Chain A
Amino acid sequence: MTHTPGCYLRMRLPATPGAPSLIASAMQAALRSQAASFCDSHVAFACELLLREALNNAVFHGSHNEGATVDCTIRAKRGRILILVQDEGSGFDWRPVLHRETHPSEPGGRGLEIYRKYANLVRFNEKGNAVALLRHLNGISPV
């Protein structure tokens, strides 16, 4: 793990069920190490939620091989946080589902809706095994 104070976390972790919580704790610790005005607790909550969703998708849906790893990069600077998560899986076709509104009585399918509502920008790679989530720290919460 590399940690340049205040702005950069880069990790490669085994795709285990505990990975999202581990990385979320690391991000919260990094955010807390900043000046108190860096971001408020509501934005920190939004960023942790986005991070967990990206990691859940990578760990639980994108990592089926034993020994699989997940790459995660978090950059926090210039009034925004960028979260990049990539898995080693075959990806998925995100195009038909990215803007789908989940019916309130459906138990599943809210991860992408959370991306849309809590991130200012959502981008997948062509293959669908990497996602970039951008959150402005002074943006409307949620967006």
Chain B
Amino acid sequence: MKSTITKSADGAILRPGADVVAESQSTLRSDMRDLVASGVKNLTVDLADVRMIDSSGLGLLIAAHNSLRKSGGQLSLIHATHDLLELFRTMRMDQHFSISGE
């Protein structure tokens, strides 16, 4: 499923239409690269339609976070399920960018 992208004056909201897993990450990676290349500094990933994120998806989010940091911006995650919040905490990702639940 395709992602939805909403741009605003101070950033963009990217809402993946499916789980962020190895099978589907190339499209999402391309969307994120395009947003960073277009000058977006503050990117919010809306996880409302995401039930599962695997290690490749975690890597994708960290790569996006690293790119945004270099340009003085930041990554935020919103609407994470309880299981995804637990995953981010377990993998210590909550120490590096803002993550909020459903």
Contact = CB atoms under 8 A, between A and B. Distances in A.
Interface of A: 17-18, 20-21, 24, 41-42, 45, 48-49, 52-53, 56, 59-60, 104-108, 110-111, 113-114, 117-118, 141-142
A52 B66 contact: no
Interface in B44-65: 52, 54-56, 58-60, 62-63, 65
B30 interface: no
Decide if the interface of chain A is mainly helix, strand, loop or mixed: helix
Given A107-B59, A107-B63, A113 B91 contact: yes
A59 to B, nearest CB: 8
A106 B62 contact: yes
B87 interface: yes
A49 B83 CA distance: 11
Interface size class of chain B, counting residues whose CB lies under 8 Å from the partner chain: 20 to 34
Contacts of B23: 17-18, 20-21
Decide if the interface of chain B is mainly helix, strand, loop or mixed: helix
Contacts of B93: 104
11 contacts: A20-B23, A20-B54, A21-B23, A56-B22, A56-B56, A104-B92, A105-B62, A105-B96, A106-B62, A108-B59, A114-B54
A111 B58 CA distance: 10
B12 interface: no
